[in-house]
Structure 1
Amino acid sequence: MQTFFKGRVLDNYGNVQGKWFIKFYVPWCPHCQHLAPEWAKMAHSVDEEVNVGGVDCTKHDDLCMFYEVYAYPTIYYIDDSLGMVKYEGRRAAKDLTKYIQNQEYNNEDATNAKDIQKFKQMSDFDKLRGIFGLG
């Protein structure tokens, strides 16, 4: 599992352009622990055009505060050209995968200009170095 995420996410940490499906979590959270195997299944099945990662909020609390993460897990679909969408659906691998596939064809849920600007500010790359991973 670590090798998969190292190849898909950590080796590309400087390039946050494109499409990302990111979970914000804390290791001690029962809901986050329950999500972990489903998230891993989904990550193995999605299209190469969508990057999958996670942010451990116990290690990167500044980023979690920036994204206004107050509950765990919180999941965002991020498209650098359209903005952020908070995922509110079921957390089974098949549901997560279906959501990503739908987002590739339906971007009408992209958030407002304020959220797009927030994402573009975070795309300065320096603040995001090394945080999109499962560690």
Structure 2
Amino acid sequence: PLRERWAALGELVPSAELKQLLRAGVPREHRPRVWRWLVHLRVQHLHTPGCYQELLSRGRAREHPAARQIELDLNRTFPNNKHFTCPTSSFPDKLRRVLLAFSWQNPTIGYCQGLNRLAAIALLVLEEEESAFW
């Protein structure tokens, strides 16, 4: 019945029903949509159209001081997960871009070990690179 209730739920809007469903658990197939919605609520005031692409362009123009550390951590990210160990997977490249963009966007924080795991989880669940960045 929980999966059916989630499937029957239309647009995500704050309501007692949504609150009850969230507390009951979000089935795997609905997590990308729910996470995107929750992230959007939290960061919509920060989101500027084209910002992510601009940050990526900045990274192509010059190397970020943390680029070397990010590269080292990419190889350590979930070593038992097929998305990060398969040679043909696009996930390591996506994760690299998300981490570099985050580091450019947040110069006072920059990059620190452990961000790779947080961003990797966001990337695995949200499935979209830019959504994982926000």
- Same-fold call, TM cutoff 0.5: no
Tell me which of the two structures has the higher relative contact order, counting C-alpha pairs closer than 8 angstroms and 6 or more residues apart. Answer: 1
Structure of greater Rg: 2
TM-score norm. by structure 2 comes to: 0.27
TM-score norm. by structure 1 comes to: 0.27
Higher normalized strand content (fraction of residues): 1
